[in-house]
């Protein structure tokens, strides 16, 4: 089994109602529970940070990034192959709110 | 390691109701005129909770966690804005966010949102936004209107907040009773918005009804001595118990015979009847008492025929004394018919035939036709059934009328 990384990038303004926020929270927790042993870790990233184009050029810094530019978080999970990983990513409830980049992690051995 | 799906430990609408509670507490410090700042801070707090709890444990006391975070954000906000520091910061004592303050703030917010200076439609929109925690899109959806209209209604309300004509306070003494009546009116509006709405989604309609019930219960806990509140709560509960087979705004008792009593929710009926008994403790008798009393008779009857029609007839008579209307008189006449005074009831009903409210009312003509048929007057029966059919606007009503025609 290989590990796969989903990188989440905001695609619209984060303007959800309290009810929607709760629904999203519940949906996500259920998803990780349903994945069982295949779930490894996930983490949200704070909105502050910087975007370097090169050593001299910082495109953005500070907490004022637009929501749609933010790399909002990542999820790592296990799957047998890319096909299965794509299938799992399609069930991720956050897919409605974010763009997702799915990539296999190269294992150390 | 996989997480337990313990997000379910959050009660239904937890975020929404905590949003409302926190906005009320923060408005205490910022003032009603700055309600938007409070809303921003609370929204930000919920966003943070969603992000943290999605991947980590939900804390044991999620409500307390939210309040703490909102408080920190409030202090940060004040540090950035020196102007507010002198006004608000001294009030932000360490223990100033306790349960008592929360309840007190929520009550103040209820009184502010149900203020008689606000136009009715603004009151309902504002209640949904500030007391129930819905956002603009959800309010527009619930009220079958668009976001621009909701914004306009809220803007008018917030203008009143800004110009200082509405205070963030709990009225006392002589004023309390009057202002509570305004609260009852608004909550009844909110309830009816759900109960009689043309909305096709049952979930949304029920939601509005239960929000009105939830807020009214908060009022009853705070002011247990006001029997009228309990009568109104009984009225709401007994109505919502029959939600599946409900009548529309202008329908009459005649439809009730056709309702499927098995779909009525017995536990809500029991709760409603209990509140109705409690509401009779004083010597007050208001419109809500009578309206609830009539519905209670229906809910407690085994079937249509064995209903206590004498009691219903008497309660309609009292209601008419308080607030006369043609539709009440129509229902009074129908109740009279089933008490056995059939000819008198028909005379009552016929005496209304030139009133504009019933002249084109399908149910009025149905009632006339049914009465005349029972009394063996075959000549005018078909005429009134045809009128009823022509004035009827709903398919289910037309079906009902045809069914009556055949019998």
Q: What is the tens place of the pLDDT at every residue in B368-391? A: 998 998 888 877 888 888 888 888
Q: State the smallest CA–CA distance between residue B85 and chain A in angstroms.
A: 24
Q: Which residues pair with A51 in a beta bridge?
A: A60
- pLDDT for residue B222 is more than 60: yes
Q: How many CB atoms lie within 10 A of CB A14?
A: 17
- pLDDT for residue A65 is more than 70: no
pLDDT of res. A59: 75
Region B236-243: mean pLDDT is 92
Backbone angles phi, psi at B76, to 5 degrees: -60, -40
More confident residue, B11 or B81: B11
Q: Please report how many Cα atoms fall inside a 13 Å half-sphere around the Cα of residue B393, on the Cβ side.
A: 6
Q: Cα(A10)–Cα(B192) distance, rounded to whole angstroms?
A: 40
pLDDT of res. B151: 95
Interchain contact, A29 vs B54, CB within 8 Å: yes
More confident residue, B144 or B249: B144
- pLDDT for residue B3 is more than 70: no
Residue of A nearest to B43 (CA): A18
Q: State the smallest CA–CA distance between residue A41 and chain B in angstroms.
A: 8
pLDDT of res. B227: 92
pLDDT of res. A18: 93
DSSP element (H, E) containing B82: helix B82-88
Helix axes B287-300, B266-279, angle to 10 degrees: 140
Interchain contact, B133 vs A24, CB within 8 Å: no
Region B273-289: mean pLDDT is 88
pLDDT of res. B85: 57
B132-169: per-residue pLDDT in tens? 999 999 999 988 899 999 999 999 999 999 888 898 99
Residue of B nearest to A73 (CA): B51
Q: Which residues of B fall within a CB distance of 8 Å from A24?
A: 50, 54
User: Chain A contact for B7, CB < 8 A?
Assistant: yes
Residue of B nearest to A44 (CA): B51
DSSP element (H, E) containing A60: strand A58-61
For B80, the 3-state DSSP assignment is: helix
- pLDDT for residue B81 is more than 60: yes
Region B332-344: mean pLDDT is 94
Backbone angles phi, psi at B343, to 5 degrees: -65, -40
Q: Cα(B113)–Cα(B300) distance, rounded to whole angstroms?
A: 36
- pLDDT for residue B112 is more than 90: yes
Q: Which residues of B fall within a CB distance of 8 Å from A26?
A: 5, 7-8, 10
Considering the entire predicted model, what is its pTM? 0.83
Q: State the smallest CA–CA distance between residue B42 and chain A in angstroms.
A: 10
Q: Cα(B363)–Cα(B357) distance, rounded to whole angstroms?
A: 11
Residue of A nearest to B40 (CA): A15
- pLDDT for residue A39 is more than 90: yes
> Which of A18, A25, A35 is nearest residue B7 as measured by Cβ atoms?
A25
> Which of B2, B50, B54 is nearest residue A35 as measured by Cβ atoms?
B2
Interface predicted TM-score of the whole assembly (ipTM), two decimals? 0.83
- pLDDT for residue B97 is more than 50: yes
Q: Cα(B396)–Cα(B381) distance, rounded to whole angstroms?
A: 21
User: Chain A contact for B323, CB < 8 A?
Assistant: no
Q: Cα(B136)–Cα(B43) distance, rounded to whole angstroms?
A: 13
Q: Cα(B298)–Cα(B306) distance, rounded to whole angstroms?
A: 9
pLDDT of res. B1: 39
- pLDDT for residue B253 is more than 80: no
**Chain B interface test: which of A19, A40, A76 (most B C-beta within 10 Å):** A19
Mean pLDDT of chain B: 86
- pLDDT for residue B335 is more than 50: yes
Q: Over pLDDT 90: what percentage of chain B?
A: 51
Question: At B251, is the pLDDT very low, low, confident or very high (cuts 50, 70, 90)?
Answer: low
pLDDT of res. A64: 52
Question: At A58, is the pLDDT very low, low, confident or very high (cuts 50, 70, 90)?
Answer: confident
- pLDDT for residue A80 is more than 70: yes
Q: Please report how many Cα atoms fall inside a 13 Å half-sphere around the Cα of residue B22, on the Cβ side.
A: 32
For B359, the 3-state DSSP assignment is: helix
Q: State the smallest CA–CA distance between residue A3 and chain B in angstroms.
A: 14
DSSP element (H, E) containing A87: helix A82-91
Report chain B's terminal Cα–Cα distance, integer Å. 68
Q: Over pLDDT 70: what percentage of chain B?
A: 91
Q: Cα(B234)–Cα(B358) distance, rounded to whole angstroms?
A: 29
pLDDT of res. B82: 62
Q: Cα(B102)–Cα(B159) distance, rounded to whole angstroms?
A: 25
CB-based contact B206:B161 (threshold 8 Å): no
Interchain contact, A39 vs B14, CB within 8 Å: no
Q: Cα(B65)–Cα(B176) distance, rounded to whole angstroms?
A: 34
The interface residues of chain B toward chain A in range 101-140, judged by CB-CB distance below 8 A, are 133-135, 137-138
User: Chain A contact for B15, CB < 8 A?
Assistant: yes
Task: State the count of interchain CB pairs (< 8 A) between A and B.
Answer: 77
CB-based contact B304:B257 (threshold 8 Å): yes
Interchain contact, B2 vs A39, CB within 8 Å: yes
Q: How far is CA B84 from CA B68, B70, B354, in A?
A: 20, 17, 64
CB-based contact B230:B275 (threshold 8 Å): yes
Helix axes B62-80, B14-30, angle to 10 degrees: 40
B289-307: per-residue pLDDT in tens? 999 999 999 999 988 888 9
Backbone angles phi, psi at B198, to 5 degrees: -85, 5
- pLDDT for residue B178 is more than 70: yes
> Which of A17, A21, A73 is nearest residue B138 as measured by Cβ atoms?
A17
């Amino acid at each position: 089994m290989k590990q796969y990384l989903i990188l989440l990038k905001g695609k619209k303004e984060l303007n959800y109602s309290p009810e929607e926020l709760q629904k999203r929270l519940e949906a996500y927790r259920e998803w990780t529970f349903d994945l069982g042993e295949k779930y490894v870790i996930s983490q949200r990233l704070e909105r502050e940070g910087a975007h370097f184009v090169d050593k001299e050029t910082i495109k953005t810094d500070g907490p004022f990034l637009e929501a749609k530019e933010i790399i909002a978080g990542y999820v790592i999970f296990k799957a047998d192959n890319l096909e299965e990983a794509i299938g799992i990513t399609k069930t991720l409830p956050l897919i409605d709110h974010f763009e997702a980049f799915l990539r296999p992690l190269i294992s150390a051995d | 390691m996989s997480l337990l799906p313990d997000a379910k430990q959050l009660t239904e609408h937890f975020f929404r109701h905590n949003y409302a509670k926190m906005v009320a507490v923060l408005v205490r410090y910022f003032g009603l005129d700055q309600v938007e700042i409070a809303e921003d801070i609370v929204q930000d707090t919920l966003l943070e909770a969603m992000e943290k709890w999605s991947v980590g444990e939900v804390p044991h006391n999620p409500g307390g966690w939210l309040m703490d975070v909102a408080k920190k954000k409030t202090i940060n906000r004040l540090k950035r804005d020196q102007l507010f520091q002198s006004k608000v910061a001294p009030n932000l004592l360490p223990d100033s966010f306790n349960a008592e303050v929360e309840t007190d703030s929520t009550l103040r917010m209820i009184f502010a949102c149900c203020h008689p200076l606000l136009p009715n439609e603004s009151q309902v929109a504002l209640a949904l936004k500030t007391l129930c925690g819905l956002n603009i899109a959800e309010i527009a959806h619930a009220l079958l209107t668009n976001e621009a209209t909701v914004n306009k209604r809220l803007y008018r309300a917030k203008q009143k907040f800004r110009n200082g004509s509405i205070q963030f306070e709990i009225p006392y003494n002589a004023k309390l009773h009057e202002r509570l009546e305004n609260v009852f009116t608004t909550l009844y509006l909110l309830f009816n918005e759900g109960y009689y709405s043309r909305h096709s989604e049952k979930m949304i309609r029920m939601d509005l009804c239960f929000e009105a019930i939830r807020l009214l219960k908060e009022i009853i806990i705070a002011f247990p001595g006001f029997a009228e509140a309990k009568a109104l709560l009984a009225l709401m509960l007994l109505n919502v118990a029959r939600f599946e087979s409900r009548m529309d705004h202008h329908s009459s008792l005649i439809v009730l015979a056709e309702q499927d009593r098995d779909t009525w929710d017995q536990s809500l009926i029991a709760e409603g009847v209990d509140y109705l008994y409690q509401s009779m403790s004083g010597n007050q008798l208001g419109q809500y008492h009578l309206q609830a009393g009539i519905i209670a008779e229906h809910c407690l009857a085994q079937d249509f025929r064995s209903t206590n029609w004498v009691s219903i007839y008497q309660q309609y008579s009292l209601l008419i004394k308080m607030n006369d209307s043609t539709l009440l008189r129509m229902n009074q006449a129908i109740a009279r018919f089933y008490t056995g005074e059939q000819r008198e009831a028909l005379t009552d009903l016929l005496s209304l035939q030139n009133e504009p409210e019933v002249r084109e009312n399908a149910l009025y003509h149905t009632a006339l036709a049914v009465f005349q048929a029972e009394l063996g007057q075959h000549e005018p029966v078909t005429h009134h059934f045809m009128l009823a059919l022509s004035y009827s606007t709903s398919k289910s009503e037309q079906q009902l009328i045809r069914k009556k025609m055949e019998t």
